[in-house]
Structure 1
Amino acid sequence: MALGRKIGKTVAWIIAVLIVLIAVLVIVFLTFDWNRARPWVDDKVSQAIGRQFEITGDLKVGWQRPPGETGWRRWVPWPRFSAEKITVANPDWTKQKFFATLDEIDFQVGILPLLAHDIVIPSINLVNPSVDLERLKDNRDNWTFKFKQSSEPSAWNLQLHDIALDKGTIAYADEITKADMQAVVNTLGQMVPIGDVMKQQEAASQKSSAQMVGKSGASKLNQQVDKAAASEAAAASAASAAAAENASAPNPASVSANTSITTKEGPKPPVPPYGIGWSVKGKYNSVAVSGDGKVGGVLALQDAMRPFPVQADVRIGDTHIAFVGTVTDPAHLAALDLRLWLQGVSLEHLYPIVGVTLPATPPYATEGRLVGQFKADGNVFRYENFTGRVGGSDLNGSLTFVGRKPRPLLSGELVSNLLQFSDLAPIIGADSNASKAKRGDTEKQPSSKALPTEEFKTDRWKAIDADVKFTGRKIIKDPALPISNLYTHVVMTDGVLSFEPLSFGVAGGTLSSTIHLDGSKEPLQGRFSTSARHLKLKQLLPTVKTMQSALGEVNGDAALSATGNSPAALAGTMNGELKTLITDGTVSRLYMEAAGLNVANAVYEKLFGKHDVKINCAAADFVATNGVLESRVFALDTDDAVINMDGTVNLKTEEMDLNIHPHTKGFRVFSLRSPLYVKGTFKDPHVGVDAGALAVRGAAAVGLGLLNPFAALIPLIAPSNNKPLPCTQMLADMRTAPSAPPPGQKQNAKGAPGYMEPGVANPAAASSSSSTGAKSVKGANGGPARPAVSTPASAALYRGS
């Protein structure tokens, strides 16, 4: 018993001592001036981060009941730490003194988890945190810290559940991207589900689309989106049915717009709600930036496999970018899956934002799904099944961006079901000055110039490679323009832009070109190869009623080269050959008679109907020398007339000096068959009768009329000339492929064929030379030159195959 009492007293004394000791420690802990520990804390943190850390305000420690605990654990108080006026210094080269400042930080730490080496912090409250981010041109930045590394792994594990922000600010100044931006970050008043944010962003983006492409365009875009969604839903339903029949087959990945993600590996956790909001303003690449958005709370970062919600609605200059979606493992940016909206004045304005070279366009609005994977060997992004409006045209397709070396690659296929032909004008700078000003181009098209003078932005062509196919299934245009559809395959490699091919449906046939523009050279070097096949005569002028009975086809080839940094400059240095041939066909007699200025017959046809005239052959052979097109052969032979043309077209000055010589076949009365002229410029052409030749005929008629009234008819009588052009020789010559020298070299001169020389094998031309004073068409030096660049041609192509 005595031993029991002795042990009891001992235990009682021990418990009493412990109680007293705990009481003393609590009293000391509560009454201790923790500001004395600030130098020690400052020194330890500064050593850990490699920057000067300092607490200039109060450092306090208190005790509070733990949040969320039950049972006896709720009686174990947790320490609550708070510190005021904290600063983290910047390197000495920065403009701002501090990297970060904080008015106050406070947090609780769980006591019992410390026994298992777990530091559990339910929440950290940050009051007015401010962070300054800076980067210089030499790539030095102030956000890279030299943390003190331990040789052994830490035995402690940190668990941070949440962060509460009260007006956090972030400043970002970057000399490389020319960025100067300020962001404000706040904790949202309540958690917001991703589905609600998606609906809000849809409405905001639809309103923005209407501002950019008009209400009608936005309405059509919504219809496109609904149609695409219905098609996607049908495809998903079919895939699900197929998967149900064959459970072993993996399901294609699909993303819900609301709360969850399903992949072939199985379902993933629901998308957590948004917890933090942000706004930004400033400049990026010297362009104004403003916007806002939301991200998930810190708790959503705990699981790297759990999708982290992000949302943004940002305007950069005249470009509007908005997205709602998720990021996988945001700490390491493993992948992203977003619904993306883009609107802007021109697609080319995306270049300073994302570094992707795109053509100049009218205002646009697009909507689609952007998925991406961040990889060490190159990030991959896919803008999948997007729909859009570009000007008055629809645009649909998918694009893939691969961040490979030495240049990224943009590839994909685009389709426009209804393409406004005028929407293609900005691509080559052929839009109006008002349109140029709207898309930020300061260079104006001279009022006297028809060919576009806006220069290509070749400095951007080396930033990215491209392999994109584009189809315009139906072209909406002026009724007089005989173009029906468009297909092109755009390839850009190391500064060389190629269209392989650029093909239009024209007048029931095709006009196809292969174009190579080498933007790595200064000036740009261009090579062009064009072929026209099966162009129907009656469809070339679809609005002219008298042409609707015309038969026959137009075929042709061209090989050209040039140098220059704009379409006008390229045209002004053009060298090469163009050949065109009209095969057997018919055309309205009215056009033939009008061309011969047989006034009486033209009136007769107008009053009493019209008949058709058979075309025996028609050929045109032009040579381009330093931008000057010269007619080497231009002849049209029908049963009623032979028409020749000579002269030049100067593509550099855009001036024309052409003479057309009609020769009547058969006996004609009241024929004023005088030469026509086409002069002036492309913008201001002048077409008329050779006044000199007509005056001679008129004076002769008046003079003879004074002597004998019947003699006055002599100058107006066209004698018969039944000798046709040598069509066989012309056709054979047209089958020879056109050629062009390398870019920058002058085209070797070639003389006109022998059968076009007056008095040799063309009596009609000889008659023209003697009776009307027409110029014979000769080459500068005569004789064919060996072609340096040629395009393949086949006789079968000219026989209508």
Structure 2
Amino acid sequence: MARGPMSRGIKILIGLAATLVVLVVIAVVFIATFDWNRARPMINDKVSTELNRPFAINGDLTVQWRREPGVTGWRGWVPWPNVTARDITLGNPDWAETPQMASLAAVEARLSPLPLIARRVVIPQIQLTGPTASLQRLADGRANWNFSLPAKEGDEAKATPWDLDIGTIGFDTAKVDLDDAVVQAKLSLAVDPLGEPIPFSQLTAFGNKPAEDVTGGDGKPRAEAGDKAAAGAEDATDAPTPGDYAFGWKMTGSYKAQKVSGEGKVGGLLALQDAATPFPLQADLRAGATRVRLAGTLTDPMKLGALDLRLALSGNSMADLYALTGVTLPDTPPYSTDGRLRADLHNPAGAVFDYSGFNGKVGDSDLHGDIRYAATQPRPKLTGKLRSDLLQLADLGPLIGLPADGADKADSKEKAAQAKDDKSGQPAGKVLPYAEFRTDRWRAMDADVSLTGKRIVHSERLPLTDLNARLILEDGTLRLMPLRFGVAGGSLDAAIRLDGGDTPLRGRIDLQARSLALKQLFPGFEPMRTSLGEINGKAAIDGTGNSVAALLGTANGSLSILINDGAISRGLTEIAGLNVANYLITTMFGDDTVKINCAAADMRIEKGVMHPRIFLFDTENALVEVEGPINLRDETLDLDITPHSKGFRIFSLRSPLYVQGTFANPKAGVHTGPLLARGAGMVALGALLTPAAGLLALIAPSVGEDNACTQMVEDMKQRGRKAPAKR
């Protein structure tokens, strides 16, 4: 009788266990044999509600239970669900142009069931087949990749964290189209798996070559800093090793009205989630004539932490980079650079980009240095120090609106007269630069950049030796202080201020030329090689207008120049390229070389017209007086040149000469009739006292000797005291 209750209890336990086993078996059989397609409507409705978008699994939804290979022990007997869903689509919001945002031909995933007990979702592998996406953003900022999920009261309080662990994500060719009105981009991107991963160290910004093979053809590296950046932060021995390249991509389309294309490689998708491992990037991009090549790493890619790249840029003009980067750079001849770009994208004051140790060419000039771009407020700022060991002066022409070969074109009046309007806005037959300053870009950022040129190459006509310049751009105002050239043993110093905040632009130029040695200025002219003479001058000009031509066409100010102890002949004017002067010199002096004791000019500039107050050449044979306006507004000349012979020198010329016409096509000749005086002649009545006194400050005596200009200016001062108040 004692065993009855025990036997009854055991029977109950066995029955419960059997029932449980039966239920489990029934559940397993049900799950294993259940037609999951019946669940598709419920799943589609649930996901559509959560995403607030149309979502649909249009094809089969199947679940197959399989033992996971490689899992040992009792866990190896637990089957894993292998889920496959086919023909998946995700719709667009109502405002989008197309009904569908994304699609998948199929998705397959394996789920580890046991970690679910501990609230861990472990998916060792996800395989995507035929993924496509069409991304769109309107000008008002609405984007179809932003989801307005429905808010539910108390969700945050009730939420229990689940850990998500995804092993690998694989896919065949993926296609993505982007239509972004905010950044003005329409792009098509195709991404393919590489098959076999490529180690990061085997690719550079210059293609599928090991870093050690990227040379200039002579076995030497293309750039000192570039090779250091080819593998990202190679100089940091304790830095994490970047992941392998897993995908290749190709892109075509347009960006800000420019055609763009490119190709490259990136790391695996899961590497995006690893903040500790640098994510590899490699790209070769083209936008119009601009080419960008890069290879390096992105740290913490999901949060855009930092960049470390080898970056090579090339194109027709650095100004073209403004549309791509927003960085204001000057117009230049064709350029190429290669250096290291490092960026701190999480700097509290704004992202900071350092392009360091770069080497490059601009036109035929070399360029080296370091620049920094900081995205600060209220405006970003560009700072840097640049140097050029060999600077071609013609390469500076585009900065003021001249074409890259403007120096050569300026020597040919035929070319100037026949020139067609070009993209710089230069009218035919005009000499002064008409290209407008891009003042709208000046207000987009600030800058403080210095440039030193060790050697400047131009020609014997203008022997420049060095350059020292500092450009400061602040709130739309551009200053070049200093702008200093070494010229013919002397210096040419300028201070330039252009206020782009005013409409039209207001500018001021102060210029000083000191101790320009004549024998160095004209080294090809034999009589000048023994000259001890110098050129000294100064100018102060104010004007308004958005180009060099406009500024000079409205200019007010003064220009003074003094030349002592020189020589002049037809040979000199040919060296200087002064075609009209050939005629004048030959007519007045023949082909002989004539010594210049002193040449003095003091010009008043008013509303774009230069009026000589003093314009004299004192030679050994004659005193030559020049009168008449030089109009900078319409680029015309109307000068009278009157020689007054000394002693018994007899001139065959009995009437004054004239120079008329335009800057591009001046014409010289002899007045055939009597010349009506423009006013009382300066030689006859004397020069104004103030201009003559001002010229004295420019006199630089020849070495240890009296200067002929000293006596001539003193004589003008004495005449000025005796002259009438009005001319």
Give TM-score, length-normalised by structure 2: 0.83
Cα distance change of structure 1 residues 199 and 315 upon mapping to structure 2, 3 Å threshold: closer
Cα distance change of structure 1 residues 601 and 108 upon mapping to structure 2, 3 Å threshold: closer
Letter in 2 for 1:662: P
Letter in 2 for 1:425: G
Cα distance change of structure 1 residues 300 and 626 upon mapping to structure 2, 3 Å threshold: same
Q: CA deviation at 1:370?
A: 0.6
Q: CA deviation at 1:468?
A: 0.9
2:232–2:310 CA contact under 8 A, matched in 1: no
Distance 1:416 1:202 in 2: 32
2:602 corresponding residue in structure 1: 621
1:369 corresponding residue in structure 2: 340
Cα distance change of structure 1 residues 295 and 32 upon mapping to structure 2, 3 Å threshold: same
Identify which of 541, 544, 547 aligns with 1:566: 547
- State how many pairs are aligned: 678
More deviation in 18-27 or 562-571?
18-27
Q: What SS does the corresponding residue of 2:29 show, helix, strand or coil?
A: helix
1:733 to 2:694 alignment: yes
1:280 to 2:286 alignment: no
CA offsets 1:135-171 (integer angstroms, 9 cap, x no match): 1121222222234563355331001122112222212
Q: What SS does the corresponding residue of 2:203 show, helix, strand or coil?
A: helix
Q: CA deviation at 1:92?
A: 1.1
2:81 corresponding residue in structure 1: 79
Identify which of 125, 141, 144 aligns with 1:142: 144
Q: What percentage of aligned pairs have identical amino acids?
A: 42
Identify which of 636, 655, 668 aligns with 2:636: 655
Cα distance change of structure 1 residues 152 and 687 upon mapping to structure 2, 3 Å threshold: farther
Q: CA deviation at 1:463?
A: 1.1
Q: CA deviation at 1:58?
A: 1.7
Distance 2:283 2:569 in 1: 67
2:489 corresponding residue in structure 1: 508
Distance 2:588 2:402 in 1: 43
CA offsets 1:192-238 (integer angstroms, 9 cap, x no match): 1112221753879999x9xxxxxxxx969997844x35xx99xxxxx
Distance 1:404 1:630 in 2: 48
Distance 1:600 1:336 in 2: 70
2:402 corresponding residue in structure 1: 430
Distance 1:261 1:597 in 2: 67
Q: What SS does the corresponding residue of 2:427 show, helix, strand or coil?
A: coil
2:371–2:383 CA contact under 8 A, matched in 1: yes
Cα distance change of structure 1 residues 182 and 586 upon mapping to structure 2, 3 Å threshold: closer
1:336 corresponding residue in structure 2: 307
Query: What pairs with 1:190-269 in structure 2 (closer than 5 Å)?
Result: 190-198=196-204, 200-201=206-207, 225-226=222-223, 228-229=224-225, 257-258=230-231, 261=234, 263=236, 267-269=238-240
1:662–1:674 CA contact under 8 A, matched in 2: no
Distance 1:128 1:66 in 2: 26
Letter in 2 for 1:165: F
Distance 1:73 1:667 in 2: 124
Q: CA deviation at 1:269?
A: 2.1
Distance 2:501 2:109 in 1: 60
Letter in 2 for 1:278: W
Q: What SS does the corresponding residue of 1:306 show, helix, strand or coil?
A: coil
1:154 to 2:126 alignment: no
Distance 1:102 1:144 in 2: 19
Distance 2:72 2:514 in 1: 86
1:646 to 2:618 alignment: no
1:596–1:641 CA contact under 8 A, matched in 2: no
2:130–2:171 CA contact under 8 A, matched in 1: yes
Q: CA deviation at 1:421?
A: 1.4
Identify which of 393, 410, 423 aligns with 1:421: 393
Q: CA deviation at 1:666?
A: 3.4
1:186–1:276 CA contact under 8 A, matched in 2: yes
2:367 corresponding residue in structure 1: 395
Identify which of 352, 359, 366 aligns with 1:380: 352
1:292 to 2:263 alignment: yes
Cα distance change of structure 1 residues 673 and 512 upon mapping to structure 2, 3 Å threshold: farther
More deviation in 662-671 or 343-352?
662-671
Cα distance change of structure 1 residues 130 and 574 upon mapping to structure 2, 3 Å threshold: same
1:596–1:662 CA contact under 8 A, matched in 2: no
Identify which of 686, 690, 696 aligns with 2:667: 686
Letter in 2 for 1:545: E
Letter in 2 for 1:396: H
Distance 2:688 2:571 in 1: 21
2:113 corresponding residue in structure 1: 111
Letter in 2 for 1:517: L
Q: What SS does the corresponding residue of 1:359 show, helix, strand or coil?
A: coil
Letter in 2 for 1:664: S
Q: CA deviation at 1:308?
A: 0.8
Distance 2:385 2:124 in 1: 50
Q: What SS does the corresponding residue of 2:437 show, helix, strand or coil?
A: coil
CA offsets 1:744-787 (integer angstroms, 9 cap, x no match): xxxxxxxxx9975998779xxx9xxxxxxxxxxx99x77xxxxx
Cα distance change of structure 1 residues 42 and 681 upon mapping to structure 2, 3 Å threshold: same
Q: Which runs of 5+ in 2 are unaligned?
A: 410-420, 574-581, 676-682, 699-712
1:214 corresponding residue in structure 2: none
Letter in 2 for 1:191: P
Give TM-score, length-normalised by structure 1: 0.76
1:561–1:575 CA contact under 8 A, matched in 2: yes
CA offsets 1:258-308 (integer angstroms, 9 cap, x no match): 486565xx7132111011222211111121111112211123234212111
1:596–1:664 CA contact under 8 A, matched in 2: no
Distance 1:600 1:179 in 2: 67
Letter in 1 for 2:90: V
Distance 1:556 1:685 in 2: 25
Distance 1:502 1:600 in 2: 38
Q: What SS does the corresponding residue of 1:122 show, helix, strand or coil?
A: strand
2:188 corresponding residue in structure 1: 182
1:663–1:673 CA contact under 8 A, matched in 2: no
Q: CA deviation at 1:613?
A: 4.7
Q: CA deviation at 1:587?
A: 3.8
Cα distance change of structure 1 residues 40 and 310 upon mapping to structure 2, 3 Å threshold: same
2:596–2:617 CA contact under 8 A, matched in 1: no
Cα distance change of structure 1 residues 685 and 618 upon mapping to structure 2, 3 Å threshold: same
Letter in 1 for 2:367: L
Letter in 2 for 1:329: D
Cα distance change of structure 1 residues 10 and 487 upon mapping to structure 2, 3 Å threshold: same
